[in-house]
Structure 1
């Protein structure tokens, strides 16, 4: 099987990128916990348009396969999350899209932020493969550019997941679990993973 073409995201990718991510995360434990159930697919599509196609892409942290069947959205060292200007422009829309799960999303964000490294690192905010294209190596391919950058710059990568299957996937890329926690009020279990620079994957 030939390796897929992987490239930085382009402005024209926004719509397909958002569909891929919404399809991948529509039944994912974390997004089920943090985004209102009614119309969740459309809510997710619009949220990923903002967080990935606009914010993360603006920091050069998004890579896709040529057809956007797989997406990796990273924040580079020094970028911890949406800045004040982004929040001013989109905060009200984001709150509306989270809907009745907004308090749960806020609580989840506070918990996950506690585990972010204080050292410079690349943060994998989200990685998705369209369900029709999973188990074909696209996920590993789309992670590779940022992991190479980590190795060249000598900085770690960090992410979290609410899926044990994802833990196995990330371990194959050189990540190791460094902490675990439960979201409150019956929320999903989370694994926090760190990949040191130069880790074998």
Structure 2
């Protein structure tokens, strides 16, 4: 089945930025086919996630250059939440694989159960953020996150994220996030950290 990209350049940026992230490595490895097929499937996933954020959440990308992007989820009511979840599951089944859907559901479901224990209701979620390797280390990451933090500050809302990468925590701390808890994720056999930012 043909797939119509809307954000190919940004999807490629995320792929390059997140290629060593354990969660996305698990997803990619569960797609059938060779390296090219698996890469293309992940590009579709990132493109879908960007489009989903544009419709239901928030998207932050720089003007003029596709050096990175942040993808945010906002709280939605029960019926809409279920609709979004069903649409995502259908996408994963069709464009990645049943195996990938099963892995995704297992990991994200377990993480959501843990996160609910520590995250205040109504918080916005930084779902994905990535900067192209050529642009990393230049202080550009904040430009992908601060505009949304400014908005949640105005609204008086908490924000949160989950990360499997310990070295990224210092970057998030500079933006006001603090470690709330750490958990072991059995599907990836890796620890991850939940970080929360209070509105300023």
Aligned ranges 1:17-166 → 2 under 5 Å: 17-36=10-29, 38-39=34-35, 40-52=38-50, 54-66=51-63, 67-78=65-76, 83-86=81-84, 89=87, 91-95=89-93, 96-97=95-96, 100-114=99-113, 115-116=115-116, 117-166=119-168
Deviates more, 1:104-113 or 1:128-137: 104-113
Structure 2 unmatched runs, 5+? none
Distance 1:24 1:141 in 2: 16
Residues 18 and 24 in structure 2, CA contact (< 8 A), matched pair in contact too? yes
Offset from partner CA, 1:103-132 (integer Å, 9 cap, x none): 332221112212043511111001100111
The secondary structure found in structure 1 opposite 2:29 is coil
CA displacement at 1:27 relative to structure 2: 1.9
In the alignment of these two chains, the number of paired residues is 185
CA displacement at 1:182 relative to structure 2: 1.3
So what's the TM-score if we normalise by structure 2?
A: 0.82
CA displacement at 1:21 relative to structure 2: 0.8
Query: Quick one: structure 1 residues 159 and 88, their matched pair in 2 at CA, closer, same or farther if it must change by over 3 Å?
Result: closer
CA displacement at 1:102 relative to structure 2: 3.6
Residues 176 and 193 in structure 1, CA contact (< 8 A), matched pair in contact too? yes
Structure 1 unmatched runs, 5+? 1-11
The secondary structure found in structure 2 opposite 1:136 is coil
Distance 1:126 1:106 in 2: 17
The secondary structure found in structure 2 opposite 1:194 is strand
Distance 1:101 1:89 in 2: 15
Query: Quick one: structure 1 residues 90 and 75, their matched pair in 2 at CA, closer, same or farther if it must change by over 3 Å?
Result: closer
- Of 186, 189, 192, which aligns to 1:190? 192
Distance 1:27 1:186 in 2: 13
Distance 2:11 2:190 in 1: 23
